[in-house]
Each structure stands twice: as structure tokens, then as C-alpha cells.
Amino acid sequence: MTGIERVLTGIRPTGPLHIGHYVGALKLWLSAQQANLPCYFLIADIQALTTHADRFELVQGAVRKVTLDLISVGIDPRKDNVHTVLQSKVTSRAAIFDLLTMEAKLKDTENNPTIKAEMAQLKQEKREVTMGFFNYVVSQAADILMVSPVKQRGNHLYVPVGADQVPHLEATNRIVRGFNKTYNTNALTQCEGRVGEVGRLVGTDGDKKMSKSLGNAIMLSDTKEAVNASIRKMYTDPQRVRATDTVESVENNPLFIYMRAFSPDQEVVNQYEEDYKAGKIGDAPLKAILAADINNMLEPMRERRAEAEREPLGDYLREGTEAAEKLAAEVLDRMHDAMHLGYQV
Ligand code: TRP
């Protein structure tokens, strides 16, 4: 007997997506789609409000932008196994969240390094920490578990994510184990993270984080000219004043970080690296090659986006959301039963 395998992952609609999202996360989404597993791709609009409650219009606009970005990279909601889900519209998800809070422990949030870092950031910006933010981890557990199969050999719930999300998956699994034990049930199954090799991509200015708001991002929707301009002014190695200067290492040089992430032929990049270290090649020719590689990658995405602009995105989201709701309602029933709340009145 083969078991039930499902994939769930999500993204916060706080703006259009950039090439860092593509290499860091969306490539993993695409391989899940290609493996023909049932995939639930969540647009986490409620979670977006944990940091963007005062920018709700931006979030609303970003739902469409992110959906277009997803389709442009090859996510295909017309496929039977692919569901694009709008978080706020899955009503059973909120009820699952409510029930999970009875099992989740304060320390799941308090000790969570990602939450700690984000909380410190909020403090620095002199912003209050809302309960919604504090409950982020349990809410994300509800996102994941709303498509949980029962705990049974052969059943799997995969969650492809970046490394920063791993603490949330560990917390989710602590909650699952606790819930199943407290209520003596197999209603929920633990999730399995699928963490990509590529971490966060640096910005074109060398900042640790690529982000549209920092102005150091190459967006998936950028034109060829915009890409060329961003790469032309890209930060490289401040120690290397002339093309003939030699350098020890290119490890922290964004030019090479990008070539490693985006050049189709890594053998050729090895050669560029040797030449660059030996002072035989300058920034400008390498930048031209990198810009061409990125544009080659983006070109089919631009074509796909142009088609998708005319497609019924709302229908895709509604179909995906309904599919998730169906599973979430089943999970909620199992949880109610396990918690002795399954009675009729
Ligand atoms: N927190 C994730 C992020 O910021 C987005 C997300 C929301 C998510 N719900 C999820 C990821 C469920 C994986 C599973 O990128």
C-alpha cells in the first residue's frame, strides 16, 4: 500500500519577488511540482500582516504580483497536483490554529532564533510586538498541518523552505508530537523539511540581504535594461582597484556569488575565478557575461508572465484555496474528535 504524500510551503506577499527568491526557494517549489506530488503553495497574507499591518494595501496588491511571479517561474496552477492557496480564505486553518495553541508551549516561540531576530528588529524600529507576531510559529504550524495526513507508515508531509524557517518546522513537530501524545491520537503527522542548498542571496550592493525596499534587488519582473543597469553598478571587491590587481579569494564577492547561482556553466566560472584572482580579467567583462546569463534565465519567465497577465488568476487562487480547505476541514474534524470536541449539540 502506498501512502499519502503532500507538499506545503508558503511565501509572504509583501511585494514582488526577486531572483534571490527564485534560487533560494522557488526552485525547490518547482522540483516538488515536477515530482508530481500534490503541492499546496500558500500565499501567506495573514502572516504578511505580522509586519505589514499598516501597509495592508501593499499586501493586497502583492497577492496578485506574487501569483504572477509564481506562474512566471513555472509554477502551473492549471496542473491537477498544483494548488495556489490564499491563506486568509482557508477558514478551517484559523480553527486549527486555535486548537494548536492549546498544545504549543511558550518556549516554542521564546527560544525560536528566527523569531528572536525579528523581534529584536521590531524593537529597534520601536514597534510593538503584537500577539499575531508572537503567535507566528503556531500560525505557521497551522499552515503546514492543515494538509496533514494521519500519522501512518508511508504518509509524508514535505515542506521545502530556506534554512531560516527550520526552527519553525522543528516547533511544528514538537507541537505534533505533543498533540498526538496529549490526546492519544494519530491525527497529525510530523513534517519533513526540504532545505535548499542556496541560502539568502546578497544584494547587488553587497548587503547581506537582497530586498526590494533596500534597492539592491533584481526583480523577476525586471526588464533586460534594468538587469543590465543593476549588474553594471553592482558592488564587487573594494580591494581590487585595477583589473590587473591580484586577489586571494572571491568568496565574498557578489559578482562570483551571482555567477555561482546563475551561470549555466560552472566549469567556465571556475576558469573566470582563476583569471580574476590572477588579475587577468576585470569586473566589466564578467558583469556583461553575468547580465546576459541572468537575462537568459529571465527571458522565458517574461514570456510566461505576459501570457499569465491575461489568465484568470483569481480562479487559480480560488481552486487552490478550496482544495486546501477540503483537507483542512478533515484535519479539523480529526483534531476535534481527538480533543473530545467531536460531539453534536
Ligand atoms: N514564514 C515563511 C517566510 O517568511 C512563509 C510561510 C508561511 C511558510 N507559511 C508557511 C513557509 C508554511 C513554509 C510553510 O518565508
Indicate if ligand 1 lies below 6 Å from the C-beta of 165.
Answer: yes
CA of 171 to the centre of ligand 1 (A): 13
Instruction: Per residue of the chain (345 residues), give pLDDT as tens.
Output: 689 999 999 999 999 999 999 998 999 999 999 999 999 999 999 999 998 988 999 999 999 999 999 999 999 999 999 999 999 999 999 999 999 999 999 998 988 998 888 889 888 999 888 999 999 999 999 999 999 999 999 999 999 998 889 999 999 999 999 999 999 999 999 999 998 877 789 999 999 889 988 999 999 999 999 999 999 999 999 989 888 999 999 999 999 999 999 999 999 999 999 999 999 999 999 999 999 999 999 999 999 999 999 999 999 999 999 999 999 999 999 999 999 998 888
CA distance 169 to 144: 9
Indicate if ligand 1 lies below 6 Å from the C-beta of 145.
Answer: no
**Cβ partners under 8 Å of residue 145, min gap 6:** 96, 100, 157, 172, 176, 188, 191, 331
Indicate if ligand 1 lies below 6 Å from the C-beta of 139.
Answer: no
CA distance 67 to 316: 9
Indicate if ligand 1 lies below 6 Å from the C-beta of 85.
Answer: no
CA of 140 to the centre of ligand 1 (A): 6
Assigned C-alpha cell, 299: 527571458
- Stated pTM of the model: 0.94
Burial class (CB in 10 A: 0-12, 13-18, 19+), 194: middle
Per-residue model confidence (pLDDT) at position 122: 86
Assigned C-alpha cell, 50: 505580522
**Cβ partners under 8 Å of residue 259, min gap 6:** 269, 272, 286, 289, 290, 293
Indicate if ligand 1 lies below 6 Å from the C-beta of 12.
Answer: yes
Per-residue model confidence (pLDDT) at position 1: 62
- Atom 13 of ligand 1: nearest residue by CA position: 9
Indicate if ligand 1 lies below 6 Å from the C-beta of 217.
Answer: no
User: How many CB atoms are closer than 10 A to CB 120?
Assistant: 10
Assigned C-alpha cell, 147: 494538509
If one residue of 42, 138, 164 were mutated to test the ligand 1 pocket, choosing by the most ligand atoms within 8 A of its CB, it would be 42
Indicate if ligand 1 lies below 6 Å from the C-beta of 13.
Answer: no
Assigned C-alpha cell, 96: 486549527
Per-residue model confidence (pLDDT) at position 213: 87
CA distance 46 to 185: 29
Assigned C-alpha cell, 121: 528588529
Assigned C-alpha cell, 36: 508530481
Tell me, rounded to whole angstroms, the distance of Cα 230 from its chain centroid: 23
